[in-house]
Chain A
């Protein structure tokens, strides 16, 4: 398929789907997303238009477009009926369109515009919400991130060195990294859960770091970012480990595992970078699957305190098993794609600094224990009686199956994905790499 016109056409269709005033239902939205997903699988690398290179499709983002579509498709499949409104679907479509556009761009100014626009879906879903503190927290952190990105873009146009510091600040804020991580647990605890996953899982911060920092910023700056990413991973793992509030445990796990992506991307060895790029996809899919299980549980049982056992394995064995498999996949259990990503990351970081390798392994081990602890607390214990059916609905099964097929399929046959990630590494670290403003 000729990407030179099909890629922009796909983006225009996604943007058109996000327009207000269209009739929206789950089947229609699913049809729309499935069509886009299938179309995105046929894309081939290229640029549009040829000379300015506004839209770019290379090894890095060739996989990011179907990945983002897959995540949104799974989220739409799993929206509980009690939370399904045309508005919620519209907000997800806005997020999707902005993420797809962001992942298709390379120019800093366009990236800055879509960086800001990518918050629209979340803002819209929180518009009428009574959670005043959450809004304040998000405006402070994410608004600060937009400001920093804008400043970085302006600084880059002026040719200033501090522009990269501004980009790093924006990425730290968007990826909820220590010391700017406080908004993420708050969002997952009090915000709309599905929208929170859709906002965080694609990891726009990681894309910005590859496009704007890799090969451009000096190594010290990247070292700072990598160090903070590792610290965040450890912090997130500790937060999840010592936490009894179910949503906050998920937030801690999310922070811990997604920070490893950035730690890998800032590495200096091919193993680290390819590991980071692989974990980006595997961690995103696994954490989305885990999040959908959490969302399904919250919709069926309400908020849960993990200091108690809640039982219910017999009533929802599929949900329990899916939770365990997604959780283990997120922590790099063998036979899943996450294992390869973790292995590459561990190899790369250990080669650079052995103590970083040890820390990476500790984070993974802690997260693995947290996953099993939460699994036992949520699904084991004396059977409880619930008014709502605990079993998974067919659409939810389909979503889990799609995500599991991705994780296990590429976990057992990773060659194509691994080659593409290596190619992305070569392109991003190649000698001819420049950023044009």
Chain B
């Protein structure tokens, strides 16, 4: 077996292992005989241990192989001269650092969750969703065509919403999950349109055909600057949604309702950086369009400032961490807009590792802080802010209120008006029914 074959086989193995675990857990739940906690824990440990090992082998064989892009076709469905759905895996210098990070963090969080969620009613559901998330994330990273990427992207969105609503006996988490899902759906819609646009412009969805041949980040897109700007804007919206950048930042605070391990892996590490990864993957489009780069930079910078201001007034450890995370992701997006390519990867990987450990330790943070204060014998004062400046960040600078008033309420009114009109017509022509 050559180095390239080994590399691709291992990449495929990572996906297959996670898909297998997902099917096994799903089937056991479906037939009404879920695995024991111990068996589930072992399955997770084996799965993610093996995945991490395979990702290391993939990375090593890739570097030893000369660092050329590697592609593997998963199959295609075609209609003569009109339609092509091509599943492709692509291993390159961009995907690998994120792949190793993803398998490592999924394993760590999985191990942590075995204790953290011990005897929780949704124990098996959590691991089922974790497997699906891991599969979606790794497929996102290894996607070699826009179709494959879209499939994986949808998986991320759904698992995210379901895990936010994990404690579904309370209405709060469930409503927040729905809010997040609605934002994701809107942004995914843009990704779908981007996929369709790419197909019509390049007649194929393979990255190599429209992002340019050569190794990342030295590709030059084959699209015209105008087309690159249009497609890039759609991709940007999709990335902003997942990365919680402005104006889609409102869902991040709501997402803290999920269990701490899922918060750590989604909003501290992998999911929140998926947007940055998407921008990096489509960086040839940014290179081709000055306007797109400028918009990306401005949004990233604004989000970083916004996140910092909002984070300062949070009185909850998970929310403080979430907005600190948002600030950093904003900076990463700004770096991408400025044209950096390697710096955002280092920044994202470092930040993901730090933030996930902070999230995992969040439940015991107060206890540790008090211990620290007792040990050093001081009690630090909280930061003082001008009263006038306090309210606006606390209300997320009225972003959610504005969205509610400008978008959600009018749309709901329209839907209700349509329903009332239908009812009135029926009542008018067929008589009013006694209620």
The answer to whether A269 has its CB under 8 Å from any CB of chain B is yes
CB under 8 Å from chain B, chain A span 362-383: 362, 364-365, 368-369, 372-373, 376, 379-383
Q: Are A311 and B416 in contact (CB under 8 A)?
A: no
A393 near B: Cβ within 8 Å?
no
A357 to B199, CA, bound (A): 13
Report if A89 contacts B (CB, 8 A). Answer: no
Interface hit among A5-13, A34-42, A341-349: A341-349
Q: Does A328 make an interface contact (CB < 8 A)?
A: yes
B187-233 CB contacts (< 8 Å) to partner A: 188-189, 192-193, 196-197, 199-200
Cβ of A206 within 8 Å of any chain B Cβ, yes or no, is no
Can you identify 12 A-B contacts, CB atoms within 8 angstroms?
A: A133-B426, A182-B426, A241-B415, A243-B415, A274-B79, A318-B32, A340-B85, A350-B193, A358-B193, A364-B189, A380-B165, A414-B77
The segment out of B8-16, B151-159, B282-290 that lies at the interface is B151-159
Interface residues of B in 322-343 (CB under 8 A from A): none
Asked if A126 is at the interface of the complex by the 8 Å CB criterion, the answer is: no
> B171-179, B369-377, B378-386: which lies at the A interface?
B171-179
* Chain A stretch 296-338: residues in CB contact (< 8 A) with chain B: 309, 311, 313-314, 317-318, 321, 328, 333-335
Q: Which of A333, A357, A361, A422 contacts B154 (CB 8 A)?
A: A333
In the complex, whether A415 has a CB less than 8 A from a CB of chain B is yes
* C-alpha gap A340/B411 in the complex (Å): 29
Q: Given the interface contacts A242-B416, A328-B158, A372-B181, does A422 sit within 8 Å of B29 by beta carbon?
A: no
B169 touches A383 (CB 8 A): yes
| B79 close to A271 (CB less than 8 A) | yes
Do residues A376 and B178 form an inter-chain contact, with CB atoms below 8 A? yes
Q: Tell me if A344 and B418 are in contact (CB < 8 A).
A: no
Contact B182–A369 (Cβ < 8 Å):
yes
Contacts of A17 in B (CB 8 A): none
Residue contact A382 to B169, C-beta cutoff 8 Å? yes
Instruction: Say whether A109 faces chain B, with CB atoms less than 8 Å apart.
Output: no
- From known contacts A182-B426, A380-B169, infer whether A346 and B196 are also in contact, taking CB-CB under 8 Å: yes
A347-B174 contact, Cβ under 8 Å, with A361-B192, A365-B186, A381-B168: no
Are A271 and B83 in touch, CB under 8 angstroms?
yes
Distance in angstroms between the alpha carbons of A364 and B425 in the assembled complex: 27
Of B154, B175, B189, B415, which contacts A242 at CB under 8 A?
B415
B residues with a Cβ closer than 8 A to A are 29-30, 32, 77, 79-80, 82-83, 85, 121, 147, 150-151, 154-155, 158, 161, 165, 168-171, 174-175, 177-178, 181-182, 185-186, 188-189, 192-193, 196-197, 199-200, 411-412, 414-416, 418-419, 422, 425-426, 430-431, 433
| One of A242, A311, A333, A335 near B412 (C-beta < 8 A) | A242
| C-alpha gap A425/B393 in the complex (Å) | 57
**Chain B neighbourhood of A196, CB < 8 A:** none
Chain A residues with CB under 8 A of B175: 376
User: Please, which residues of chain A bring their CB within 8 A of the CB of B189?
Assistant: 361-362, 364-365
- Nearest Cβ in chain A — how far from B122, in angstroms? 9
Assembly CA distance A340 to B86 (angstroms): 12
Query: Which residue of chain A has its CB nearest to the CB of B188?
Result: A365
Contact, CB under 8 Å: B30 / A321: yes
Q: Which residue of A lies closest to B136 (CB)?
A: A334
Bound CA span A54–B419, Å: 43
Q: A80 at interface (Cβ–Cβ under 8 A)?
A: no
Q: How far is the CB of B253 from chain A (nearest CB, A)?
A: 19
Chain B interface, DSSP helix/strand/loop, else mixed = helix
Closest chain-B Cβ to A90's Cβ sits at a distance in Å of 28
Q: Are B419 and A380 in contact (CB under 8 A)?
A: no
Q: Does A137 contact B (CB under 8 A)?
A: yes
Known: A357-B196, A372-B161; 18 extra A-B contacts, CB below 8 A, are: A133-B431, A140-B430, A182-B426, A235-B418, A241-B411, A248-B419, A269-B82, A270-B83, A274-B79, A334-B151, A339-B151, A351-B200, A365-B186, A365-B188, A365-B189, A381-B170, A382-B169, A414-B77
> B415 is contacted by which of A239, A309, A344 (Cβ under 8 Å)?
A239
Q: Are A381 and B151 interface neighbours, CB within 8 A? A: no
Q: Across the two chains, which residue of chain A brings its CB closest to B196? A: A350
Is A239 within 8 A of B422, CB to CB? Answer: yes
Q: Is the CB of A381 within 8 A of B30?
A: no
**Known: A372-B161, A380-B165. Is A271-B171 also a contact (CB below 8 A)?**
no
Considering the complex, give the chain B residue whose CB is closest to the CB of A357.
B196
Residue of B nearest to A272 (CB): B82
Task: Provide the residues of chain B in CB contact with A351, threshold 8 Å.
Answer: 200
Q: How far is A57 from B171 in the complex, measured between Cα atoms in Å?
A: 52
Q: Bound complex: CA of A78 vs CA of B151, how far in Å?
A: 32
Q: Give the one of B30, B147, B158, B196 with max A CB within 10 A.
A: B196
A241 to B181, CA, bound (A): 14
Given the known inter-chain contacts A313-B168, A365-B186, please indicate yes or no for A343 contacting B200, CB distance below 8 A.
no
- Taken residue by residue from 78 to 101, chain A's Cβ proximity to chain B (1 for < 8 Å, 0 otherwise) reads as 000000000000000000000000
Q: Does A185 contact B (CB under 8 A)?
A: yes
Decide if B418 touches A182 in the complex (CB within 8 Å): no
Q: Please pick, from A140, A238, A274, A381, the residue contacting B83 in the complex, using a CB distance under 8 A.
A: A274
* With contact pairs A271-B79, A365-B186 given, residues A182 and B196 touching in the complex (Cβ less than 8 Å): no
- A347 vs B418: C-alpha distance when bound (angstroms): 29
**How far apart are the CA atoms of A59 and B88 in the complex, in Å?**
31
With A334-B151, A334-B154, A369-B185 known as contacts, the answer to whether A376 contacts B168 (CB < 8 A) is yes
Contact (A137, B79) CB under 8 Å given A334-B151, A361-B193, A369-B181 = no
Measured CA separation A318–B125 after assembly (Å): 12
A372–B425 Cα gap in the complex (Å)? 30
